[in-house]
Amino acid sequence: MSVTRERCGVNDFQAAKRREDILRAAVHRRLLDPEDALLAGFLDLDGVAATVTALHDAFAGTAAPVLHTFAAKANSLIPVLAELRRLGMGCEVASPGELAQALAAGFAPERIVLDSPAKTRAELAHALDLGIAVNADNFQELERIDALLATRETPSASRLGVRVNPQVGSGSIVAMSTATATSKFGITLRDEGNEERLVRAYLDRPWLTWLHTHVGSQGVPLARIAEGVAAAVAFADKVNAAAGRRQITGIDIGGGLPVNFDGDEVTPTFADYVAALRAQAPALFDGGYEIVTEFGRSLLAKNGFIAAYVEYTKSAGGRPIAICHAGAQVATRTVFAPDSWPLRVCAHDPTGTAKTGEPVAQDIAGPCCFAGDLVAQARPLPPVDPGDIVTLLDTGAYYFSTPFHYNSLPEPAVHGVRRDPSGGLRFETLRSAQTVEQLLATVMDPRSTT
């Protein structure tokens, strides 16, 4: 195994080889080009299919129905959403834009879940008209739904629930932890009087038949996630006991499986996640409750990477610096919170072949016009030269699909890739590169033309 692969943290030769095959083929087909295509994202669609299969397999044998939805915020490109729909996924959305994208991708309304802490009356009315599942975030939102339902001539087909915050604490990344004592999400269960008030809210609303919780994602250990789900199951049991019937029929347990950004090993797995749930919340699997999941990052992150050309190299303070075309505009979280979101970076020559040689600590800098635009600092890599290509690994979720328009940098192309029956690679465009003309159209003030 080459020095580059060791330094990239790769412990799976086949995964590294597949990425290199994709990169070399992309260069050969000029999907990456030092003049016309300086930056691009790549999503391994075969890998996505295998990951979705692993999710379904982990929940196989569950007594009640399970709907696995994809959290659209993790990658809202419509061709990606459509691919996930074809693989049997539903879709979780948290804004009017994401809902429109989910519908455009062909998801049936009954397989869409609307979550958001700031739903407007118009958004709620639209969801109720379509029959989309809605998880209310707070008591005031419940009152809005009351008023909307009172004006309807016929009942809505929407599954209606409430998001609860079990207040079990945070993980290592507080910003990704949604079950802290003061989280903005959901109705807290441990604040004085809240649990009793919420039980009464259910008893007063026979149409309120679902419950939702989400403890967090990256940095949150499985035991804490399972603890939060167990608290939600216990609350559902309490409501049903108080109602004297099975009023709550389903529990949306959110997503949040952390991703290993240190190497190619998939850990924890969906099977690990289910094992943790069975240990702490066995009643979830006894058939009394339907289940909805909302995984995002864990389905796509390890199936994608970003590739960018190196434009210049220099040295400052004795440290080599490579200035490439991937920075804060595609790796926003890594640039602004590098300790929480470090990425593996690999170096390749202009053909896409992994570079070899004695590693040298180098900064990999992006094109944005501020000093902190660094995707890696003092990273040991073989010496990088102008015209080389750097790859940012595990970026299939959030990174290339959620651009940050700093310096008005255009959105890069995103390509899906799968192996055809003959063993060759077939690329398909998931998003075309944004042209300067298209970028200008998005920022043009229409008043200037009147």
Residue carrying structure tokens 């970076």? 345
| The pair of three-digit structure tokens given for residue 386, joined into one six-digit string | 């102008």
Instruction: Quote the pLDDT of residue 7.
Output: 42
Task: State pLDDT tens for residues 14-38.
Answer: 899 999 999 999 999 999 999 999 9
Phi, psi (5° rounding) for residue 177? -105, 115
290-295 vs 250-252, strand pairing mode: parallel
**Mean per-residue pLDDT of the chain:** 93
Could you tell me which of 335, 438, 352 has the C-alpha nearest to residue 42? 352
Instruction: Quote the pLDDT of residue 355.
Output: 96
Instruction: Quote the pLDDT of residue 5.
Output: 38
CA distances from 140 to 179, 215, 273, 371 (A): 20, 22, 33, 44
Instruction: Quote the pLDDT of residue 448.
Output: 52
Instruction: Quote the pLDDT of residue 4.
Output: 38
Highest mean pLDDT among 7-11, 169-173, 225-229: 225-229
Confidence of residue 70 (pLDDT cuts 50, 70, 90): very high
Assess whether pLDDT exceeds 50 at residue 9: no
Residue carrying structure tokens 């003092």? 378
CA distance 434 to 39: 11
pTM: 0.94
One-letter amino acid for residue 319 of the chain: R
Confidence of residue 211 (pLDDT cuts 50, 70, 90): very high
Task: Annotate 387-396 with b (16+ C-beta within 10 A) or e (fewer).
Answer: ebbbbbbbbb
Instruction: Quote the pLDDT of residue 442.
Output: 85
CA distance 112 to 432: 27
One-letter amino acid for residue 260 of the chain: N
Task: State pLDDT tens for residues 110-151.
Answer: 999 999 999 999 999 999 999 999 999 999 999 999 999 999
Assess whether pLDDT exceeds 80 at residue 62: yes
Instruction: Quote the pLDDT of residue 256.
Output: 86
Instruction: Quote the pLDDT of residue 169.
Output: 79
Instruction: Quote the pLDDT of residue 118.
Output: 96
CA distance 43 to 307: 11
Assess whether pLDDT exceeds 70 at residue 362: yes
Could you tell me which of 426, 378, 365, 431 has the C-alpha nearest to residue 40? 431
Q: What is the mean pLDDT of residues 315-322?
A: 96
Write out the CATH class of domain 61-295.
Answer: alpha beta
Q: Look at residue 448 and give its three-state secondary structure.
A: helix
Instruction: Quote the pLDDT of residue 217.
Output: 85
Residue 215 CB-half CA count within 13 A: 27
Assess whether pLDDT exceeds 60 at residue 364: yes
Q: Where in the chain are the domains?
A: 3-44+302-442, 61-295
CA distance 408 to 98: 23
Task: State pLDDT tens for residues 141-179.
Answer: 999 999 999 999 999 999 999 999 888 877 887 777 787
Contacts of 155 (CB under 8 A, 6+ apart): 149, 207
Could you give the residue ranges of the DSSP H alpha helices within 213-326? Answer: 222-243, 270-280, 297-300
E strand or H helix at 201: helix 194-203
Q: What is the mean pLDDT of residues 377-393?
A: 97
Q: DSSP assignment, residue 434? A: P
Assess whether pLDDT exceeds 60 at residue 3: no
The CATH topology of domain 3-44+302-442 is Lyase, Ornithine Decarboxylase; Chain A, domain 1 (2.40.37)
**What share of the chain has pLDDT > 70, as a percent?**
96
Q: Look at residue 328 and give its three-state secondary structure.
A: coil
Task: State pLDDT tens for residues 79-98.
Answer: 999 999 999 999 999 999 99
160-165 vs 208-212, strand pairing mode: parallel
Residue 335 near residue 436, CB atoms below 8 Å: no
